[in-house]
Amino acid sequence: QDNRISIWSVGDLGNVGLSGEYQGDPQLLCDIRHNGDVMDMQFLDQERIVVASSTGTVTVFRHHQNNQTLSANQRWEKAHYHVDQDTSCGGAACTGVVCNNPEIVSVGEDGRINLFRADQKDAVRTIDNADSSTLHAVTFLRTTEILTVNSIGQLKIWDFRQQRNEPSQIFSLTGDRVPLHCVDRHPNQQHIVATGGQDGMLSIWDIRQGTIPVSLLNAHEAEMWEVHFHPSNPDHLFTCSEDGSLWHWDTSTDISEKPSFLHQGGRSTTYFSHNTVNQSVVSAWLSNDPTKDRMEITNLIPNQTLSVNSLDILGPCLVYGTDAEAIYVNRQLFA
């Protein structure tokens, strides 16, 4: 009923004890009330945070570091709505936001895409009927292009340089139209995209090739809520799920050279389905050399039972939130 945006300090890496555990508890620096459920949030810059609400509103909060307070800096009321913006109950949930300062893109249950600029009161661009189904997530492909995933298993590319309100490309899961919940693109090779959805499968797409995924990987037992390539080490990918698991996918080494061992969960390696693709740059994610097609998967929280709803990652640190109303910080991913 009463939702808040909170800023925490989890200390610096200097405060690590001998066995690697973090010394000192996380400190709540400040918080502020938020109207509606928080559906997504992202830092715009060092001090501004963009937040998506179930009421359809997109808000930019500013973190004042000198006196540790938060304030609403800018608000686009009912950026997403079902009937019209003026009716009191007309808001549609804003399901995702992505930032590339000063630009902010939001998507929602209403199938609408908005492009905002942090310094402008009105939307720069709105694509009203971008999708007939719910848009669940959005990310930037390039500075002028975005990727969206929807509730009927489609991945779409939108190019803001084009005036027409149509996607420039549509990709689709074959067979059952399983809702897709999350999307991320490879930080260095922008043609490689990962998505996850309601069936817990991880799909890897090469957006230069065809319209179906290059590979479908068996992953979680329930909905996959989030997928992220490691920003500086993209041979590593992380996924989390309603089934209470958080998986680390490692394609960085040829596992056939390692002694085989089983991780908790009983899965140590998995195999790509092959579509042989001639690549200028071979990425492990699209590898077509059968001897190298294995990857190591580790469940980072083997005994969890409650849904892992969100994760983010930077350097050796992984942070995730669960239905236990707790936030966890893992500081030694590559230990």
CA distance linking residue 235 with residue 269, whole number of Å: 15
Q: 3-state DSSP helix/strand/coil percent for the chain, to nearest 5?
A: 5, 45, 50
CA distance linking residue 20 with residue 41, whole number of Å: 29
What is the total count of domains within the chain? 2
- Whether 264 is in a domain gets the answer no
Dig out the tokens for 110 from the structure.
């209403």
Q: Same structural domain for residues 102 and 208?
A: no
- Whether 144 is in a domain gets the answer no
- Burial (CB < 10 A; 0-12, 13-18, 19+), residue 62, is middle
CATH number at residue 75: 2.130.10.10
What mean pLDDT, rounded, does the chain reach? 86
pLDDT of residue 285: 82
Question: For the residues 247-251, what does the mean pLDDT come to?
Answer: 93
Confidence of residue 309 (pLDDT cuts 50, 70, 90): very high
Stronger pLDDT, 94 or 335, i.e. the higher one:
94
- Whether 271 is in a domain gets the answer no
Range of the domain at 82: 1-10+25-130
Q: Same structural domain for residues 119 and 201?
A: no
CA distance linking residue 234 with residue 75, whole number of Å: 34
pLDDT of residue 220: 95
DSSP 167-192: -SEEEE-SSS-PPEEEEEE-SS-TTE
pLDDT tens profile 147-189: 999 999 999 999 999 999 999 999 999 878 899 999 999 999 9
Confidence of residue 219 (pLDDT cuts 50, 70, 90): very high
pLDDT of residue 210: 85
Confidence of residue 1 (pLDDT cuts 50, 70, 90): confident
Judged by phi (left if over 0) then psi (alpha if -120 to 50, else beta), residue 200 lies in: left
- Whether 274 is in a domain gets the answer no
pLDDT of residue 281: 40
Stronger pLDDT, 70 or 330, i.e. the higher one:
70
Q: Is the pLDDT of residue 111 over 80?
A: yes
Place of tokens 């800096």: 73
